[in-house]
Amino acid sequence: MAPVMDSDLVRQSAATLSAAMQAGEVTSVQVTEACLARIEEVDDKVHAFLHVDRETALATAADIDTRRAAGAELGPLAGIPLALKDVFTMRGVPTTCGSRILADWRPPYDSTVVERLRAAGVVILGKTNMDEFAMGSSTEHSGYGPTHNPWDLERIPGGSGGGSSAALAAFEAPLAMGTDTGGSIRQPAAVTGTVGVKPTYGGVSRYGLVALASSLDQAGPCARTVLDAALLHEVIAGHDPRDSTSIDAPVPDVVAAARSGDVRGMRIGLVRELGGEGYQQGVRQRFDEAVAILTDLGADVVEVSCPNFEYALGAYYLILPAEASSNLARFDGMRYGLRAGDDGDASVEEVMSRTREAGFGAEVKRRIMLGTYSLSSGYYDAYYGQAQKVRTLIARDFAAAFEQVDVLVSPTTPTTAFRLGEKLDDPLAMYLNDIATIPVNLAGNCAMSVPVGLSPEDGLPVGLQIMAPALGDDRLYRVGSALEAALVDRWGHVLTEEVPAL
């Protein structure tokens, strides 16, 4: 076997590494060691990981190599390393959700996503940083310090899944897992020049995913290429009887769609309400160029109006806090995690209060209070009830749009990555980062962010969002792969290969 350079390995796609492993050109142990070395080299600057499970990762890799050598039939991602957002339970491994209140918690069980990754032979490197309980758009709300964007270490990597996206952009892992409640996969993907997919709600099991807002949360794949995201999507998707919201239907053939890359004859809708004022000029420029490419590739591009999208942000920030205040009530210092102020004389109520005061950060407390207020007697109908009605109108806008077109497109984010601390004291400005991604979560549809170049204003990545109807996930990969291939022809490489050296 020819010697392989670690610096070369960490920059390869998962699909390329898989082919090399199957051809006997490289082993899973070599790839895993290369990723671990890269983490050791750069993560003190990036802070993508909260926990690295070196021994288990190498043991898994060695087992895959042994099975492959013995002729075992293995899946395409067997032996490929992955970074796991720290919101998925994993037996015996710290699972903090970016919160001090779960600092020492080690779950006694695996989430369904982790079970499926293990069954596929994926090598889990460790857990990635995130905004506390997935509440945030910058990963600055982590209880363990912010993650930095590898494109510019003074800027945010997006949130809440900034750790996963930064790990990809920094070449610490070829694959990552995220969760998306209002854009927490797609927004980080956009600002780090990576690919992020929010599958159809119910398309990937939520069992073992620590809940933020149960009607909005969705696990999904993060990668550096569209095909890699599809390969991971195929592994994690499918019905799970342990999740009552799991869809009992065949998984769309996302891998075949990613390999096709043909948009001829597709109708693509530009969402009138997701663009214009408030969008950075460089973001708009790269988006318009990408739309022109899709037209050149044979797609029929038309403008579509979704008038109720303008109310999505307000509705979302009533529904999410309401569900969060209910879901986070379980973190009380009584059953697991942090217990503060238990001096022997304190009442149960005092211990609960002190634990939540010490364990939760400012953003979590803010949203719990907002949610509790909107659910309180006398305000439920005026706030939460009205927000649910708006949610229905947004779903109807999507349904009407998809009667006219196959997919919808928009910029993923209004701006490129902003500077760390720039919006930390302005919650509304922070919330506006998700203005284009939130409608999909409210409706339960699927969406992808794919990189479309660098803004000429600041040299930072720009993402294009593709939206499809429920169970139309394959359409995302068809459009995303076509656009990616055209841009690779133009650039000569995928965007992440331009990431400045750390």
362: part of which helix (H) or strand (E)? helix 362-375
User: Is 184 a residue of the active site?
Assistant: yes
62: part of which helix (H) or strand (E)? helix 54-69
pLDDT at 398: 98
Model confidence at 264: pLDDT above 50? yes
> Directed axis angle between helix 281-296 and helix 473-491, to 10°?
100
Write down the catalytic residue from 111, 138, 160, 410.
160
pLDDT at 240: 98
pLDDT band at 307 (very low <50, low <70, confident <90, very high): very high
pLDDT of 43-55, one tens digit each? 999 999 999 999 9
CA 215/CA 442 separation, integer angstroms: 8
Write down the catalytic residue from 111, 184, 410, 455.
184
pLDDT of 328-353, one tens digit each? 999 988 878 888 877 777 888 888 78
User: Is 365 a residue of the active site?
Assistant: no
Domain ranges of the chain: 6-308+392-498
pLDDT band at 3 (very low <50, low <70, confident <90, very high): very low
Domain 6-308+392-498 sits in CATH 3.90.1300.10? yes
CA 211/CA 324 separation, integer angstroms: 8
Q: What is the 3-state secondary structure (H, E, C) of 203-249?
A: CECCCCECCCCCCCCCEEEEECCHHHHHHHHHHHECCCCCCCCCCCC
What are the CA-CA distances from residue 123 to residues 21, 33, 64, 431 (Å)? 14, 11, 9, 34
Helices and strands (H and E) in the chain: how many: 17, 11
pLDDT band at 6 (very low <50, low <70, confident <90, very high): low
Average pLDDT over residues 354-359: 83
pLDDT of 124-171, one tens digit each? 999 999 999 999 999 999 999 999 999 999 999 999 999 999 999 999
Model confidence at 5: pLDDT above 70? no
Write down the catalytic residue from 13, 18, 28, 85.
85
Six token digits for residue 34: 């290369």
- In sequence order, what are the residues at sequence separation of 6 or more whose Cβ sits closer than 8 angstroms to the Cβ of residue 256? 474
User: Is 160 a residue of the active site?
Assistant: yes
CA 392/CA 38 separation, integer angstroms: 46
**Which pTM does this prediction carry?**
0.96
What is the chain's mean pLDDT, rounded?
A: 94
Rg (the chain; Cα; Å): 22
Model confidence at 2: pLDDT above 50? no
Strand partners, 303: 270
